[in-house]
């Protein structure tokens, strides 16, 4: 799928903009640290920056909601095909018209 489809283009053919966007994404992904920390490789592996990082504990609230739901609905989730999903409660319910 051409990247410009995400920008509203209806075409199925790859054009020059799609190729440039794909190359740019590849460059960004290649610059990320391979350990999965989300940092940039040149910063993560720079010994001059080794004392610049300090660990902190945070809460990922979306993940916490999923984990809690899995605990609360453990028996229901044993049924084949069942899964937990999240709905953004800031939005009106789909049936609220």
What's the Cα-to-Cα distance from 68 to each of 53, 57, 60, 63, 85, rounded to whole Å? Answer: 31, 19, 12, 9, 12
Tens of pLDDT, residues 36-51: 899 999 999 999 999 9
Q: Which of 23, 24, 45, 25 is nearest to 33 (CA)?
A: 45
Q: Are residues 7 and 44 in the same domain?
A: yes
Tens of pLDDT, residues 5-20: 988 887 889 999 999 9
67 domain-assigned: yes
Supply the pLDDT for residue 97: 55
Q: Are residues 12 and 43 in the same domain?
A: yes
Residue 87 has pLDDT above 90, yes or no: yes
- Evaluate if pTM is beyond 0.75: no
55 domain-assigned: no
Domain count within the chain: 2
Q: Domain residues for 79?
A: 61-91
């Amino acid at each position: 799928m051409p990247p410009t489809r995400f920008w509203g283009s209806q075409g199925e053919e790859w054009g020059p903009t799609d190729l440039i966007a794909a190359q740019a994404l590849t460059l960004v992904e290649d610059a990320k640290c391979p350990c999965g920390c989300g940092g940039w490789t040149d910063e993560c592996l720079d010994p001059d920056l080794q004392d610049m990082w300090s660990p902190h504990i945070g809460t990922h609230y979306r993940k916490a909601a999923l984990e809690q739901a899995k605990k609360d609905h453990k028996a229901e989730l044993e049924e084949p095909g069942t899964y937990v999903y999240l709905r953004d409660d800031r939005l009106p319910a789909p049936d609220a018209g």
